[in-house]
Amino acid sequence: MATRGQRKPVADAGSRRVQGRGDGAQGMVPPCPAPRETVQARVWGWKGEPDPHGMLRMLPFQVIVYEMENFQGKRCELSAECPSLTESLLEKVGSIQVESGPWLAFERRAFRGEQFVLEKGDYPRWDAWSNSHHSDSLLSLRPLHIDGPDHKLHLFENPAFSGRKMEIVDDDVPSLWAHGFQDRVASIRAINGTHS
Q: How far is CA 159 from CA 155, 163, 185, 190, in A?
A: 10, 8, 8, 15
Instruction: Please answer whether residues 78 and 13 qualify as being in contact, where contact means their C-beta atoms are separated by less than 8 angstroms.
Output: no
pLDDT digits (tens, 9 = 90+) for 146-180: 766 677 888 888 899 998 888 887 677 777 777 77
Q: Tell me phi and psi for residue 32, to 5 degrees.
A: -65, 165
Q: What is the pTM of this model?
A: 0.54
pLDDT digits (tens, 9 = 90+) for 103-122: 999 989 999 988 888 999 99
Q: How far is CA 77 from CA 40, 85, 153, in A?
A: 21, 11, 34
3-state secondary structure 52-93: CCCCEEECCCEEEEEEEHHHEEEEEEECCCECCHHHHCCCCC
pLDDT digits (tens, 9 = 90+) for 29-87: 444 443 333 223 333 333 334 444 443 334 578 999 999 999 999 998 999 999 998 88
- Domains belonging to the chain, first-starting first, are 4-146 (2.60.20.10), 152-195 (no CATH)
Region of poorest pLDDT, from 12-21, 86-95, 100-109: 12-21
